[in-house]
Structure formats: structure tokens, C-alpha cells
Structure 1
Amino acid sequence: MIKKMSYFLVLLCLLLISVGCSNGQQPIVSGSDDEVELTISAAASLTDALNELKTSFESEHSTITLSFNPGGSGKLAQQIEQGAPSDVFLSASKIDMDKLQEGNLLLEDTRIDFATNELVLITNKEKPFNLSSFEDIDSATIDHFAIGEPESVPVGRYSKEVLETLKLWEPLQSKLVLSSDVRQVLTHVEMGNADIGVVYASDALISDKVKVVATAKPEWHDQIVYPGAVIADSKHPEEAKAFLAFLAGEQGKEILKKYGFK
């Protein structure tokens, strides 16, 4: 009798456990299996490369989703300084990254340089402007010249350095169309709203509407280096580090190279 009662008690316990599990109660998932969304504040020039990298990264890290916040590096840095949520910052210039580092806003020992770029002069393919070098730029023959805003957009800062080196900055003041990021410069030239513009080689590569007429000499401007780092206030520092490692790894390098980065 006792054996039979014990047998029925065991069956009852198993039945109760089964009912509990089928009642919508799931086992507790460990922290490593939790879904994580990383916010990546990235220079606009990285947009296309990052979209492809997202697919590769997420296929290898099934619990991590990447969300991009593209824009001018200066404005992105300012957003982070003001407390905007971000896990990783990918800048098109050292200056903007330096500001965050000086303010102790970067996670220690996570900063890396992952790419370089070149500065090119472009014109619209269907409405080509007769020009073959930066030195040939003549303010008298140009109506609209698109560049990035020098105070907040790295490509604009580099463009200003080139024009100052060539003694063209002051003569061109009335012709300049200042843009909020490098992609806006590209759009102005693509749509014919500007005769010429200055963008990165990587941006010119992804457009079939513009033609590169010249490449700036490296000595005319500061070296174009792309640094990346994890933000100190990131809620997902380990996942953010994994993303940076992937970006700087072989797959990341191949994707960046494909889109015109060095």
C-alpha cells in the first residue's frame, strides 16, 4: 500500500511540473542569452559598409542586434556629451573622438583606429564641370561648391584645410554650400544642385551619378583616420567590445575595403 501511494505521489508531482511548464512559464534565461540591441553612433560615410557588416555580425552573434545612428562626427560626439544613449562611437576624425576621451566618456582601453580614407573632388556625370584638379578650381567659374560644415563635419574640416593650403578658402566663400554630413554633399552633386563637391573616396565609390575628377594630396590636409571606441556609459560593454573586434577583424576589413576604405 505504501509503495502504491509513493508511486502515485511521484506521478502527481510529474503531472504538476508538466502543467506548470505548459502554462506559459519558461525557464529562466541566462544573461548571456538575452537579446541585446547595440546603438552605434557612426560617421555618415560608413553607412553602406556598416549595413553590410550588420548582416555578417548578426549572423555570428544571434543575440545581438545593431542599430545605427549616422551623422556628422562632430554632432554625434556632441549628442554623446549631452547624454544621448550610445554603445559605440565610430568617428571620421580623431578630433571628435579626442573630445570624448578628454571628457572620460570612453570606456578605457577600447579605442582603436580601424580605417583611413582619401578626399576627392567630384562632379555630376550628366552635367560634368570642366575641371581636372583641385588646383584648377576658379571661383569665377563656379556657382555652387558643396562641402561639409567645417565646424561639425570632418569632411568639411579636411576640405577647408585643402582650400586654405591652395589659397582658395577666402575666394570661394560666396560659392560654398555647407552640408550637415558627407552624404548631403554627395546628394547636392548627384542632383545637380552644386557644380562640384568634396567627399571621401568611399562615398564617391557607391554613387553612379558622380565622377571623381581629382584626389587631394595627403599633405594638403590632416590624415583621415577613423577611430572607434565603446562609450563609458554603455549598458552592454562586452557586446560593444565584440562589435569593435569584429569591425577591426578580417571580415570587417574586407567589407570596409569593398566600400573604398583603406
Structure 2
Amino acid sequence: MGMNGIKAFSIVALVLASMVTPLSAMAAGDRVVVFAAASLKNAMDDVAAAYKRVRDADLRVSYAGSSTLARQIEQGAPAAVYVSANEAWMDRLENNGRIAAASRIDLLRNELVLVAPVSSDVRATLDASADLRSLLGEGGYLAMANTDAVPAGIYGRQALRHLGLWDGLQGRIAQAEDVRAALALVARGETPLGIVYSSDAVAQADVRVVDTFASDSHDAIVYPAAVTADADTPAARNFLAFLQGEQARRLFRKWGFGVADGE
């Protein structure tokens, strides 16, 4: 190849490089990774699908316990939007500068319920006279999400303590990694009772609600959402705005959630 040919080839290579690099950067900027509490799975899957129908977006959602997700964000996981099942884990990220504080919103509300397998005939009223230990039967366990770290488990522990039932259930609680894992134990009949969110009961046909815990027996169940500080992009902000729109709200209501402003 002559000198003129080499120069021509170099110019073409430089032009191609200048075209490829911005396109790659744009693709990365348009990608939105959402970290969402496990209890949101059915609803958020629907919301994500609806979003992709109106926007050409590279949207990916990862589900786990709120505590697990928050710790992953602290360790540098590439989440752009975080939706927690309680305020404490969002507070922790905000205090550590891990979210864009101005983006934080209260998105959803939920209720806490006692569930049993759909074939069970167990009946109970959740008050101080409830004898859940007897209802568990010989060797039976009460399924709960981790009561030290996972929001559903923390709310459940608060409610049981409020009713004076917590101490009597020690040694009879099966703690799961998140609320959906606790729900699965009941749905499969591995435990006769479980404490989950109302929305979880809506999502699982193999369980039924025995009773609902009074709202004053535990902290308010609020799902805050925010854009993370390391991925505060227009694409992330757009998805957060979509979560607050009427189309998303309809889907959240369908799966048993209340919207945070009560509408």
C-alpha cells in the first residue's frame, strides 16, 4: 500500500473511531439498572414492560431484599434506580451520599398480612389473644423474611411484639432471605403460616389471607425510590418519573399496592 493509501486508511479509521465511541457511550448512558425490593417483582415486571413499550430503553431490573440491594449499592453495584421496601435502608444510602437526595420520593404503600396455604382451614384474628403457636401445630413454623434486616421481617417482628406474641413464637420462626422466599414456604405447604405483604398474597394463588395486621401495630410500610448518585442520568430520571405516572400506578394497584400520596 502506497503512502496515499496508508493516509486514506488512517483517516477512515479515525472517522470510524469517532463514530463508534460516542455511540458506545450513549448506549451506556441509556442503560437503566433498577434495584427493587423482592415484593415488587410482579408489579415491577409489568411496569418495566409498559415502559419499554413507550420508550426504546435498555431497562434491567434486579430483585432481592432491600437490605441486600442497599449493601450492593454501597459496594459499587451499577444500579441507577433503587426502590426499597422501607425508609431505613434508603435513609442509610442517603446519609452515605449514595443516592441523589433531591430525586427521592415516597412511591408506594403496603399492608402486612398473615397467610396460610390456600387449602388450609386455619382461622385467626390478629389481636393479643391470638395463639399462633398452637395454630402452627406440632413442629410447624411461621415463615417470615429475615427479622433483623429485611423490611417485611422487621415489620412482622414489630407487629408481633405489639400484640405480645413475639416471645411465645421463639424457636418456631423460619426466617427466609426475603419476603418472596417466605411466601414460597407457605405456598409450597412447608410452613402452615407466614407473614408477608398484602401484595404478595395477591401475587400468589396458592396462599390465602388469614387476617391483616392493624396499621398501628408496625411502622408505616412505605416504599421510597431514588436515583443513585453514581448513575444520575436523564434515562434514570425518566424511569423514575414514569414510576409516578398514572400508567404505572394502575399496574401497582393491580398487584395490591397503594400509591404513597393516597390517590
Give the TM-score, by structure 1 length: 0.85
| Match among 72, 78, 84 for residue 77 of structure 2 | 84
Q: Deviations over 1:154-182 (max 9, x none)?
A: 00000000000011111101110001111
Deviation at 1:141, TM superposition (A): 3.9
SS of 2:132 mapped into structure 1: coil
> Secondary structure of the residue that 2:144 maps to in structure 1?
strand
SS of 1:194's partner is coil
Q: Does 2:180 align with 1:183? A: yes
Structure 2 residue ranges without an equivalent (≥5): 1-11, 259-263
Moved more, 177-186 or 140-149: 140-149
Give the conservation status (yes or no) of the 8 Å contact 1:129–1:196: no
Post-superposition Cα deviations, 1:82-129, rounded to whole Å, max 9, x if no partner, equal 112211110000001000000011113100111100111100012x15
Instruction: Identify which of 67, 73, 86 aligns with 1:93.
Output: 86
1:68 aligned onto 2:89: no
Note closer, same or farther for the CA distance 1:248–1:32 as it changes in structure 2 (3 Å cut).
Answer: farther
Residue 119 of structure 2 corresponds to residue 122 of structure 1: no
| Contact 1:39–1:68, Cα closer than 8 Å, also in 2 | yes
Residue 131 of structure 1 is matched in structure 2 by 123
In the alignment, structure 1 segments of 5+ residues that lack a partner are 1-19
| CA distance in structure 2 between the partners assigned to 1:44 and 1:149 by the alignment | 13
Partner of 1:198: 195
The answer to whether the 8 Å contact 1:148/1:180 transfers is: yes
Deviations 1:221-255 (A, max 9, x none): 00000000011011x52111100100011111111
Change (3 A) 1:258 1:81: same
Going from structure 1 to structure 2, the CA distance change for 1:211 and 1:152 (only over 3 Å counts) comes to same
Partner of 1:10: none
For residue 47 of structure 1, what is the amino acid of its counterpart? K
How high is the sequence identity, in percent, across the aligned residues? 35
Q: 1:46 to 1:141 in 2, by over 3 A?
A: closer
* CA root-mean-square deviation: 2.1
- Structure 2 residue 40 is matched with structure 1 residue 43: no
1:240 corresponds to which residue? 236
Q: Is 1:190–1:210's contact at 8 Å kept on the other side of the alignment?
A: yes
2:122/2:210 contact within 8 Å kept: no
Partner in structure 2 of residue 256 of structure 1: 252
Q: Which has the larger radius of gyration?
A: 1
SS in 2 for 1:40: strand
Whole-Å separation in 2 of the counterparts to 1:161 and 1:115: 20
Look up the match of 1:57. 51
Contact 1:131 1:213 in 2 (8 A): yes
Between the aligned partners of 2:79 and 2:17, the Cα distance in structure 1 is 31
**Cα contact 1:129–1:195 (8 A) shared by 2:** no
Letter paired with 1:53: V
- Between 1:241-250 and 1:31-40, the stretch displaced more is 31-40
Q: Which residue number in structure 1 is paired with residue 171 of structure 2?
A: 174
| Offset from partner CA, 1:28-62 (integer Å, 9 cap, x none) | 48769943321111000111111111111112211
Local SS of the residue matching 2:76? coil
User: CA offset at residue 257 of structure 1?
Assistant: 0.6
The change in CA–CA distance for 1:233 and 1:138 in structure 2 (over 3 A counts) is same
